Amino acid sequence: MRKAILATLTALAVMTSVPVSSYARGKRPAKPQTKLTQVSDKITRVTVSGDATVNAQPDTAILVFSVVTQNAVAVEAQQENARLSNRVLDALKRAAGNGAEVKTSGYSLNPQRVYKEGQPPTITGYEARNSVTVTMGNLDQVGAVIDAAGKAGANNVDGISFTLRADKSVRDQALTNATTEAMSKAQTIAKALGGRLVRIAEVQEAGAQQRPIIYAETTSLKRDDYATPIEVGNLEMKSQVTVVAEIAIG
């Protein structure tokens, strides 16, 4: 009877086993692993995985704005961009408040070309882009910061995301929950085999991964009298733990 149960569980393990490394590379958490190994006549080693997800309230917002200008003359595109970018930087510092970080995160000047079949490309103008990243802890002011950027001259939102800067307690909770799930599986398998869990031979922690909330990418800003509404929501912290346990049978 025990051999029949072992064969069934081993077959299931082969079908559901996924390498832990896939999770470590940033992919979605792997399905729980189950692997049985016969150590001796009375000892069977079981490998199981536990997954856990803990929801948390973000404490940091990261916003990326761009000022994009175009002109037939490169220097004119640059100068117009510089004028507007200075206005945007000043507005962002005022709106984001003390403690916020406002910094330039990218700059480019690119020719705009027209392509015609059988002819070399023709430069018709130039586009200048100056990107600014704002990192702030006052999440209630995110909408106001977006509005201030638009009114000052920013005409693109390259990204808005919410994350958790102080995440140790949430990571610890996710790790605890994943370990508890793995241990529960090992106990269940031991009971199903008519045995008992005697020791934990190995524990592998695949790491906790925070999934930030991303709301927008490459969205044009509109200047109007309406305030921009932002609903933050919760983010997820995921963790996976693999436990190698030894079961005594008989």
With a cut of 80, say whether residue 128 has pLDDT above it.
Answer: yes
pLDDT at 22: 39
With a cut of 70, say whether residue 191 has pLDDT above it.
Answer: yes
- Each residue's pLDDT tens digit, 142-189: 999 999 999 999 999 998 999 998 888 999 999 999 999 999 999 999
pLDDT at 37: 63
Q: pLDDT band for position 8 (50/70/90)? A: very low
Report the candidate in 92, 91, 90, 69 with the shortest Cα–Cα distance to residue 79. Answer: 69
- Each residue's pLDDT tens digit, 20-69: 333 334 444 445 456 656 556 678 889 999 999 999 999 999 999 999 99
pLDDT at 230: 81
With a cut of 50, say whether residue 224 has pLDDT above it.
Answer: yes
Least confident of 134-148, 182-196, 206-220: 206-220
What whole-number distance in Å separates Cα of residue 244 and Cα of residue 182? Answer: 9
Q: Which residues pair with 54 in a beta bridge?
A: 237
What whole-number distance in Å separates Cα of residue 144 and Cα of residue 155? Answer: 15
Higher pLDDT, 200 or 17: 200
* Contact call for residues 81 and 210 (beta carbons, < 8 A): no
pLDDT at 68: 97
Q: pLDDT band for position 10 (50/70/90)? A: very low
